[in-house]
Amino acid sequence: MLDICLLGTGGMMPLPGRWLTAMMARCNGSNLLIDCGEGTQIAIKEKGWNFKPIDVICFTHYHADHISGLPGLLLTMGNAERKEPLLLAGPKGLERVVSALRMIAPELPFPIIYKEYTEKEEEFCVGPYRIKAFRVNHNVTCYGYKVCIDRIGKFDVQKALSLGLPKQLWGVLQKGNNVTFEGKDYTPSMVLGENRKGLKVVYTTDTRPLQVISKEATEADLFICEGMYGESDKLAKAKEYKHMTFYEAALLAKEANPERMWLTHYSPSLMYPENYMEGIRKVFPRAWAAKDGQSLELKFDDEK
Ligand SMILES: [Zn+2]
Ligand SMILES: [Zn+2]
C-alpha cells in the first residue's frame, strides 16, 4: 500500500491557505518527500503526518519555492532526535546549495548523504521506493520523478516443495533474497510466480510539456502535474517562464492515460483553479484541480 499526500499546491510563494507544492509518500514505515519549499514542515504537521520516518528528500530544482523550507525541516528532524542517515537527491549542485542553507542549521544529530544527478535519467532505490528522476525543461536544470512500488510474484508452494528446501528458508526467498542451502544457491524466481502489477506515481513541476513526461506517466496510478496558469491565453507567459497551462497539462494526461491527474503549482494570481476545470475535463476527464493536503491511498490490484 502506498499513501500519497500533495502537501501544498502553490507556486512561487506560499499564500494563506495554500502551501508550496510538495509531495509526501508513505510505504512500509518509510517516507519520501519531493520538494521542500517554505512552510512544507507546517503542511506536514497540518496533515498529521510524521517527519521522523523520512528516509529521502528529492528535489526537482533549486528555485526557492522548492527548497527554502529545508533548513527548518532539518532542524525539526534533529529536534526529534533522529539518528538515521538522510538521503538528499537532486540535480547537480545539491551539496553546494544545501551546504549554504545549512549555515543556519549547522549541527544535526544525523548524517546527510547526497546523490546528485549527472545524467538525463537516473534510477535508484530507497527502502520500498524505486525512484526515477528524468530531466524536464525549466529555466534551470530540473527533474521530474516517477516513484514505483514493485510487486513481486505470488509465492508458489508447489514450486517450493519440489525444491526440497526446508520451510524455514522459504520466507527469505519470499522477501526477494537468495539462499544457499547445502552448497546450492536458490533464487526468489525459483519459488515466485510472475511479477505482479505494482504502483506508480509521477510528479512533474516546473516544466514545459515534454514527451518524456507523458511517457513516464503512462498508465500511472496518479500523475501530479504542474499547472501554473488556468487561463489558456497565458500560454505566452507559460512559454516565457517555462511552465504550463492547465490545458497543456491535460494534453499530457490525455496521452499518458493515468488513473487520475492532479494539477498543482498554481500561480499566486490564480485564486480559483476549479473555475477552469470544466473545459479541462473535456480533454482529460479524470483531472482534478488539487487542493492542499489532498491525499490518496493506493492499493495493489490484489489488495483492492
Ligand atoms: Zn516553482
Ligand atoms: Zn522553478
**Do 72 and 90 reside in the same domain of the chain?**
yes
For the chain, the first-to-last Cα distance in angstroms comes to 10
Residue in the structure block whose three cell numbers are 517527519: 51
Q: How far is CA 90 from CA 25, 97, 145, 188, in A?
A: 17, 10, 10, 33
Task: Give me the residues near ligand 1 (ion), CB cutoff below 5 Å.
Answer: 11, 65, 206
Task: For residue 219, report the distance from its CA to the centre of ligand 1, in Å.
Answer: 25
Domain with 118 in it: what CATH number? 3.60.15.10
Contact by Cβ (8 Å): 140, 61: yes
What number of other Cβ atoms are within 10 A of residue 22's Cβ? 29
Q: 279 CA to middle of ligand 2, Å?
A: 26
End-of-domain residue from the set 161, 194, 227: 194
Are residues 88 and 78 part of one domain? yes
Sheet holding 86-91, edge to edge: 112-117, 86-91, 54-58, 30-34, 22-27, 2-8, 294-298
Question: pTM of the prediction?
Answer: 0.93
- 55 noted as active-site residue: no
Task: Give distance in angstroms: CA of 167 to centre of ligand 2.
Answer: 54
Judge whether 296 and 7 are in contact, CB under 8 Å. Answer: no
Per-residue pLDDT of the chain (304 residues; tens, 9 = 90+): 999 999 999 999 999 999 999 999 999 999 999 999 999 999 999 999 999 899 999 999 999 999 999 999 999 999 998 999 999 999 999 999 999 999 999 999 999 999 999 999 999 999 999 999 999 999 999 999 999 999 988 888 888 889 888 888 888 888 888 999 888 899 988 998 888 999 999 999 999 999 999 999 999 999 999 999 999 999 999 999 999 999 999 999 999 999 999 999 999 999 999 999 999 999 999 999 999 999 999 999 888 8
- Total tally of structural domains belonging to the chain: 2
The Cα 135–Cα 209 span in angstroms is 12
For 117, residues 6+ apart whose C-beta sits below 8 A from its C-beta are: 89, 90, 91, 92, 133, 135, 143
DSSP 233-270: GGHHHHHHHT--BHHHHHHHHHHH--S-EEEE-B-TT-
Q: Which residue segment(s) compose the domain that 17 sits in?
A: 2-152+195-303
d(CA 10, CA 268): 7
Determine contact, residues 67/100, Cβ cutoff 8 Å: no
Tell me how far apart the alpha carbons of residues 242 and 11 are, in angstroms, rounded to a whole number.
13
Nearest ligand for residue 228 CA: 1
Dihedral sign for Cα atoms in the order 226, 228, 230, 231: negative
Ligand 1 centroid from CA 197, angstroms: 32
Residue 284 to residue 253: CA distance in whole angstroms: 7
Of the residues 140, 163, 194, the one at which a domain ends: 194
Catalytic residue among 3, 35, 55, 65: 65
Distance between Cα 138 and ligand 2 center (Å): 7
Among the bound ligands, the one closest to the CA of 140: 2
Q: Are residues 175 and 291 in the same domain?
A: no
